[in-house]
A and B are shown apart, each in its own frame.
Chain A
């Protein structure tokens, strides 16, 4: 039974995915969605059943250290639970929102494969096996973006290139780690962070960050937000990728390597985290599209997690992991609310939205809870995890704390703007007939919003049951053994409250200035200095992918000449001489049997002579 549970967690969604592809599409258009939801429900049941256990399973696979080894630890059980929960909620939701889409069958199949591969990546206890599952996710990501509607192929390629490059770094990292540790078994590796070890760590870190979507590996996410189906956004960039990326980052920081506050890697991580928070949130602030705004926040929030883990202090790590859970909850709830709005109004452009609060009250309430949560308003879950991260950041350096706090200000400001523009204010005439979204779409949103409250008010539940066990012995002696309950550092709470108040004031000022909710942050957008940065961003000049494209373009021109030369050697010289040889040999085969017999006899004579030369010469 033991290994069976682990294998089922991978095999069942994979098999369901295959089944979805094989189903006749005409007969039962609803079947893929139902099957996907059922398989995810089963996955959830498995995750709950397996949660308290410590299962391990190993099967020698390729020989050279690449075992098919699965292991369920405290940490992976908790991530598996998250994966199962979010995929179940999203498939339940997409059963309605994607039901009529022509690509529903493919979409659900890819969702199921994604779930299977994610479960595999989390359960894998061997670096090679982990890599196999991880790379598989790259393919499903590509396929799911490509399954979207309008012009998604370019976006899919962009995601593929960015994530593919980071995966390449990961691959090198795995090789180097295996070389240094002398084993590929993840639970047996424990390397110090010095010299080559630090290089290996950084390579693995790039892989993890690429998956989590931290800067500078983020730029495909906002593009995908426009082009890809919304359930996809809620599932992958919204929750699963964050879970996986941060899971792996935490694994390498806590298990595979010994990350200490003294190591130079720690400030690097914190720097990336802080930069991601601030830069992405500044981009989010000025977006005029519901989905795109959320997408930039999906990037920005990763910064908090990386910052928290980068502190290498128990309080920061617990905060980072807790923030990962919370972010997955409120971010998918927000993406789902965007999906509901898009389904009912047909647009996500904030210029055309407004006053939806009256026609879509439940969606509005869910949005408000999730938005308050992401902005860090007590008593919702986001507040508690952010306070923990702040606590860790402040201990390591005030600059990190200051940046994180500034990030909070902009987060709150942008959600005030978004909420005001979409759900309040004047209702546009054309949208009079808007109804509330159907129940299967509302239920996941309500569940997630409920979780925002539960994980906030009763934060000891996730902290003590799920997250703190991950740290194991490191928790002892710190903070009386638990971080649950209301934050103890009142100065931090006070500053947070102050920043939130400032955001409200800023909003009021902006609305007063322009008279519209959507214009609430225009004064920041057009502030001297910032406006030119925003202009550059709008043209794509700040997109690392574009920059890479520019460099690659130059390099490719230079290499083209070299390539032609080499190409000539192959297709010109080599191919021509091969063809010439072939031609000469063909001419020799004129079908004359006498000639063939002669060859055979001459060959026999040559062989006999050769033998005689050797044997006779030996005498």
Chain B
């Protein structure tokens, strides 16, 4: 299928380096344009038609099979939207042209990896593209200026190595126990209930749990998100972790596990533990980005939990929550960037009463937080509702209860965030703080509008999704 989705960003990276030094400022906009095209292609669902016959030999050359379906479209759309937001944030927060140029480059490299994850249908290629994404991300974190960037990148690399070992071992076991490592072959192997195939599957899942920061594989995430420069945390939280960990799990749950025991149970238990631990960890954080990081862990737990529910509804619910969380969390990190730029700190204990000084930021933060906490009529409400329904239909009542109760903790930590940062008495120290510049507000407002529009128009959106056979 569409090798263009891999080729265009890849060629763009090469071409960007051919640009004269003076024209490097344009690099960011070129990357922006490519991501906009991606998002547009996903919305218009034109993957099938943009393929030209000429590319078929190339595909053969690359040696793996690519297909697109509704799920790939979802990931590609999220990548486009989040990537554009991250680039806009980078434009306002990275100081030098060179830094911005580097950022745009690495984003494109990561996009090659993510697009690959969206389209591959075998476990080895999946591993390769996950690694491509990870390598680009290490550099993105480490290229920052803060004091802790090394620590953040280091932990990410270290845990990623653990993941690589798990996944490579798993691939070996798969080769031993099944005929081939395509998702379908793995499915057949698992159906035969061969213990070795199941061990292989378990190891691969664990590798993806590290990538997707499921508890107890999550140690790297909070440091990496917090240490990363503002646009990098937007991009990472919005799409990288989700694509390389959660989306891969989604794909495997859909194509390989197919609701088989004990894969479903593992997803349920890991998802539920992650939701609860992540939410409680978020509750008492005092650093804005760190709280968002733990909230991310908890929310990704919801997606994995949904995969353990009723198969079709579960995939639909997981996909929707994937989209909602990608939109809202990247928006919250963009808001964090706006606040950090105004105050120079992210310590929430020092903040207060910023709502009066930064009304737009306060408003969009409220929209995103309430959506993630699952308040109607915002988009997050619907995806959580579907998750609970998916669990209910699968008769997993206890897990449905966990999903509902954890929403309360979610609401609690987001309310505490709102209270500490935006409400309360204005702190004199920040009397000079003003609303963020338009460049930072545009992505936040645009993403908040998507959240509201999807929430209000959800009944229609669902009809389209169901009608489209997603």
Contacts and interface: CB of A to CB of B under 8 A. Distances in A.
B222 A589 contact: yes
A600 B201 contact: no
Contact of A608 (B155, B199, B215, B282): B199
Interface string B229-271: 0000000000000000000000000000000011001100010
Contact of B202 (A582, A597, A602, A608): A608
Given A581-B280, A601-B162, A603-B209, A611 B155 contact: no
Nearest to B221: A596
Contacts of A579: 283-284
Given A582-B280, A582-B284, A619-B193, A611 B159 contact: no
Contacts of A612: 195, 198-199
Contacts, number: 102
A601 B166 CA distance: 9
A593 B266 contact: no
A542 to B, nearest CB: 42
A569 interface: no
Interface in A458-515: none
Contact of B280 (A585, A595, A611, A618): A585
Contacts of B219: 589, 593, 595-597, 599-600
Given A591-B223, A599-B216, A619-B193, A582 B283 contact: yes
A324 B28 CA distance: 68
Interface residues of B, number: 42
Interface in B441-456: none
A611 B220 contact: no
Interface centre among B158, B210, B283 (most CB of A within 10 A): B283
A616 B154 contact: no
B284 A600 contact: no
Given A578-B412, A581-B280, A614-B265, A600 B159 contact: yes
Contacts of A602: 216
B158 A593 contact: yes
B419 to A, nearest CB: 14
A616 B202 CA distance: 14
B280 A600 contact: no
Contacts of B166: 604
Contacts of B282: 582
Nearest to B277: A585
A61 B206 CA distance: 44
Nearest to A600: B217
B459 interface: yes
Given A596-B219, A612-B195, A607 B202 contact: yes
A424 B422 CA distance: 61
Contact of B281 (A582, A597, A611, A615): A582
A62 B459 contact: yes
B281 A589 contact: yes
Interface of chain A, main secondary structure: helix
Contacts of A27: none
A611 B217 contact: no
Interface in B172-223: 193, 195, 198-199, 201-203, 205-206, 209-210, 215-220, 222-223
Given A578-B412, A596-B219, A615 B283 contact: no
A396 to B, nearest CB: 48
Contacts of B222: 589
Interface in A108-134: none
A475 B371 CA distance: 55
A615 B193 contact: yes
Which 4 A-B pairs rank lowest in CB-CB distance, beginning with the nearest? Answer: A596-B219, A614-B262, A604-B206, A599-B216
Interface of A: 61-63, 575, 578-579, 581-583, 585-586, 589, 591, 593, 595-597, 599-604, 607-608, 610-612, 614-616, 618-619
19 contacts: A578-B280, A581-B280, A583-B284, A585-B277, A586-B284, A586-B285, A589-B222, A589-B281, A593-B155, A593-B158, A597-B162, A599-B219, A600-B216, A603-B216, A604-B206, A607-B202, A611-B262, A615-B262, A619-B193
